[in-house]
Structure formats: structure tokens, C-alpha cells
Amino acid sequence: MRTPFVAGNWKMYNTVAEARHLVSEMVPGLQAIIGVEKVLCPPFTALLAVRALLEGSDIGLGAQDMHWEPSGAFTGEVSPPMLAELCQYVIIGHSERRTYFGETDETVNHKVHAAIAHGLTPIVCVGETLAENEAGRTSEIVSRQVRQGLYGLDLSSIGEGQGNTSLVIAYEPVWAIGTGRAATAEGANLVVSEVIRPALLEMFGEQVSQAVRVLYGGSVKASIAAVFFSQPDIDGALVGGASLKVSEFVPIVQAASR
């Protein structure tokens, strides 16, 4: 049994003051929902303030990216130990990082190794572009991203509780992110069941392939979340735009608890 998992990726939205306001409004609704691992991923600048507001709750905190080196002359970057002081999760390889900031499967791989080494749970994003989708290359691209992004990991060493591993994958077709055009739930489930879990099976064996939570991401809204969560291989969602609204994000998390 995989515990449902829903994370909100705030992207580059919310100052510290705005973050405090949003979290204060969101916490009571989220706290009332049981049986779902819930995570908020604000910008770096708001991590400390949001952490203080989440203290004592069962709501986790994550960052949206990090460098893989523990320290060094990398102006503007944030390291794994810096994050490990503040939060438990980190999104890695989001398509916006791949598209706008030159992130590759190789950098994703460095970051995933570093996250796990520092006790952070990586939420690793994979997904094909529209052109790749239209060219019938979805399986090839997603399979490559999983295999290269997770290459060389020893997943037997990372925590397992209640049948889950502390590695999470988000299948996010690039054409569905922020466009209002979500994938179909059946289509997304097929990519997870036919591409992502088989790649995990080949790389890490049966137990890991069944224990890793795989999320769907791409224009998830409260009105469509339940359809995705009813799919057998989709274990939750990585939510962008809708995670900035209490009236959207709380019902999405609620849908995952059923």
C-alpha cells in the first residue's frame, strides 16, 4: 500500500508576508485531512517562515531545487545541507528548470544522489514535451529520464516506511504544465504503469518498483483530481498553480485521501 502524496509547487510566487498569509489560511484545512503525505514547496526565501508555521503539524516542507555540492563558489545556489536544516523534501528536474536553466538528466542525477545522501526526499520530475509527445516519443523520453536521472542509486539504503520509499517521482508532461490542458488520467496512468514502473523494476527490482510513489502533475485542479487519484498507478499529484489557492489545494488533498 502506497500512501497518497500531494505536493504544492509554489514556483516563483509569494513573498515571505504572502507566504505566511497563505499558509495560515491553508493549514487548518490540510491538517484535517488524514492518510495523505502533504508537502508545501515555497520559494527558498519563504522556507524559514513557512517552517515556523508548519511546526507541530503533519504538513511537510520542500524546496524547489538545489545544487548537488555541499558548499562552494556557486553564487546564487543553495546546497543540500542548507536545505536539510530547513526542510525534508526537494523537487528535482522540474521541466521549468530543464527548459529555462539548462538542467539535464546528468545534473538531475547529481542532485538526486546528493539529496538522498543528505537525508532529503527528492521529488524527481520527468515528462515529455509536446513535440516529443506528438512524435510518439513519450516512452523513449520518460524512460531515459528515469534511467539517467536515477542512475547508480542504491535505493535499498533509503528509508522505507509503510511500504513507501523516500524517493518520489512526478510524471509531468511538459505540455500539461501551466496550460490548463491536463493529460487524461488513463493516459497518464499508462505512462506510469508501462514506462516508469517497468524502468524502476529493471533498475531496482520488484519491491522498489511497487513502493515508489509516482505522482501526476500538469494543470491538476480540484475538479479533476479525483479522476487521477482513482488510477491504480498514480499515487497523488504535484500541483503548481492550484496550490496557490486554498479553495483548490485543500480539496485536491482531500480527494487523495479517499
- Range in contact with ligand PEP (rule: CB under 6 A) among 65-73, 116-124, 141-149, 236-244: 236-244
Provide the grid cell at 243: 496550490
Question: Can residue 177 be called a binding residue for ligand PEP (CB under 6 A)?
Answer: yes
Nearer to ligand PEP, 208 or 237 (CB): 237
Question: Can residue 93 be called a binding residue for ligand PEP (CB under 6 A)?
Answer: no
Shortest distance, position 76 Cβ to ligand PEP, whole Å:
21
Question: Can residue 217 be called a binding residue for ligand PEP (CB under 6 A)?
Answer: yes
Unique residue bearing C-alpha cell 556557486: 74
Single out the residue of 65, 240, 253, 254 in contact with ligand PEP (rule: CB under 6 A): 240
Q: Which H/E stretch holds residue 25?
A: helix 16-31
Q: Which of 94, 103, 113, 128 is catalytic?
A: 94
CA torsion 99-222-255-8 (nearest 10°) is 40
Provide the grid cell at 173: 508532461
Cβ neighbourhood burial of 1 (10 Å; 0-12, 13-18, 19+):
exposed
- CA gap 207, 80 in Å, rounded: 27
Nearer to ligand PEP, 122 or 241 (CB): 241
- CA gap 55, 64 in Å, rounded: 20
Shortest distance, position 153 Cβ to ligand PEP, whole Å:
22
Question: Can residue 238 be called a binding residue for ligand PEP (CB under 6 A)?
Answer: yes
Provide the grid cell at 48: 524559514
Give the DSSP letter of residue 2: P
94 is catalytic: yes
Question: Can residue 239 be called a binding residue for ligand PEP (CB under 6 A)?
Answer: yes
172 is catalytic: yes
Which residues are part of the catalytic machinery? 94, 172
| Residues at the site binding ligand PEP, with contacts judged by CB under 6 A | 9, 11, 94, 172, 177-178, 217-220, 238-242
